[in-house]
Amino acid sequence: MTAHVLLIEDEPNIAEAIRFILTRDGCRVSTHGGGVDAVAAVHAARPDLLILDLMLPGVSGLDILATLRADPATEALPVLMLTAKGQDRDREAAERAGASRFMSKPFSNAEIIASVRDLVAR
C-alpha cells in the first residue's frame, strides 16, 4: 500500500524537500501551504498521515491539531508535528494537543522516513 501523506508547511523549500524524500520512499504526497484552510484541506485529502508545521500563517499548527482531534472523522489521524522551535514547552504543547510525534527542524532524511513509516504502520 502506498501511504498518502498530507504535508502542511508554509516554507516552499522545506515542503519540496520533504515531498521529494517521501515520494522517493514510495509515498504519495500532497502539500498545502496555509493555516487558515488547513482543516478543510485535511478533510478533502483524507490522508493516511498528516505532517503539520507548528508555525503557519494565520492559524497555529496547535490550533489546527486541536480542531482535528475534536472531530470524530480525524481524531485518530496520525500527525507528525514539525517545528523550528524545539523547546520542551513546544513539544509538551504539541503532545497535549494530540500530536502522534514531534520533530524539530532541521531533521535528517532518515529520521523523517523512519517516523513516517512508523506512524503509517500503526
Q: Give the domains, in start order, of the chain with CATH numbers.
A: 4-121 (3.40.50.2300)
pLDDT values of the chain reduced to their tens digit, one per residue, 122 residues: 589 999 999 999 999 999 999 999 999 999 999 889 999 999 999 999 999 999 998 899 999 999 999 999 999 999 999 988 768 888 899 999 999 999 998 899 999 999 999 999 98
Cα 92 to chain center, whole Å? Answer: 16
pTM of the entire structure? 0.95
